[in-house]
Amino acid sequence: MNKFIWILIIAIVVIVGAWFAYGRSGQPTASEIATTTPEAAAPVASTPQTVTVTYTDQGFSPATVNVAVGDTVRFVNQSTGDMWVGADEHPTHTSYDGTATRDHCADGANTNGSFDQCTRTAPGTAWSYTFTKAGSFDYHNHARASAGGTVVVQ
């Protein structure tokens, strides 16, 4: 009995440790948060900007981007696998506007403007999305749910 409990405790400690070390790698650290605020200092409305996020086998970089309403984020797949950018949570992608993938995706195309690529694309491709409302939007790669990031729209 005692042996089993000790094994259980050790296993839990190892798992929690591994989770913090590896599993939460999709979360940005302070140094990873980009300072890409192209319109932060603009006192009047300026032209929309495009911010690029690169997806590699290590995940999305920068993990967090700050943009303004109307700006476009371009996700470039430089990994060795497929990319399907979609709002959290996996796999329903409901956090952006409350609609699920089955509601806003049809035949690989987005039908209501939700933050969802709706199809997987091969390495070397890119996908752009223009944010039309403010908020902090977590996203992930639907083809590899452990990789994710955040777009902060102000």
Partner 1 sequence: MRVPLHELLLRLAVAFSFVYPPIAAVADPDSWIGYFPAFIPASIELLHVFGALEIALALWIVFGRRIFIPSALAALLLLAIVVVNGAQFDVLFRDVSIALAALALAWLHLPKREAL
List residues binding partner 1 (CB under 8 A). Answer: 4, 8, 11, 15, 18-19, 22-27, 57, 81, 84, 88-91, 101, 120, 140-148
Beta carbon of residue 142, minimum distance to partner 1 (angstroms, whole number)? 5
Beta carbon of residue 101, minimum distance to partner 1 (angstroms, whole number)? 8
Return the number of the residue (26 or 68) whose C-beta is nearest partner 1. Answer: 26
Task: Determine the Cα–Cα distance for residues 67 and 130; give it in Å rounded to an integer.
Answer: 10
Task: Determine the Cα–Cα distance for residues 52 and 131; give it in Å rounded to an integer.
Answer: 13
Return the number of the residue (52 or 119) whose C-beta is nearest partner 1. Answer: 119
Tell me if 56 sits within 8 A of 123, measured CB to CB. Answer: no
Return the number of the residue (58 or 112) whose C-beta is nearest partner 1. Answer: 58
Beta carbon of residue 129, minimum distance to partner 1 (angstroms, whole number)? 18
Beta carbon of residue 128, minimum distance to partner 1 (angstroms, whole number)? 21
> Can you say whether the dihedral through the CA atoms of 44, 31, 153, 130 is positive or negative?
positive
Q: Is 105 left (phi over 0), alpha (psi -120 to 50) or beta?
A: beta
- Least Cα distance to 138 among 100, 89, 98, 104 occurs for 89
